[in-house]
Amino acid sequence: MSLRSIMVMLFLLLLCSPMEPDALGQANDRSALRGHYELQEGRRLYEQYCRFCHGEQGKGKAYDKVTPPPADLTAETVQGKSDTELMSIIHEGEPGSPMGAWKWALSEQDKRNVLRYIRSLAH
């Protein structure tokens, strides 16, 4: 086989091979963009529904007229809970506390977005 034939075959092989790094890069870009959108949507929902009691930074000191006081969402006691536990609290409320159920106001995706934002408060 001549050098020219080998070069043509290599060129064709490279031309026909999939460009996985670009595909992965685009997928990562889409994922990052979606994550950013979900975080911003979670922040918007938090400000609309949660900030009154939990405060701007989630420290739980915004509304001190209730007993027990609203949870500090940045504390290890909250951040240490699983996503499932926190989703349940957002959905059903917290018995024995002023935390009410949001199942009537928030969709499942809304609750996931709020949870994403609550997780970001610890950083």
pLDDT tens-place values along the chain, 123 residues long:
676 766 656 555 555 655 555 556 677 888 889 999 999 999 999 999 999 999 999 999 877 788 889 999 999 999 999 999 999 999 999 999 889 999 999 999 999 999 999 999 998
Number of neighbours of residue 86 by Cβ within 10 angstroms: 18
Distance CA 9, CA 35 (A): 42
Residue 23 lies in a domain: no
Residue 8 lies in a domain: no
Residue 109 lies in a domain: yes
Spell out the residues 6+ positions from residue 112 whose beta carbon is closer than 8 angstroms to its own. 38, 42, 87
Domain count, the chain: 1
CATH classification of the domain holding 52? 1.10.760.10
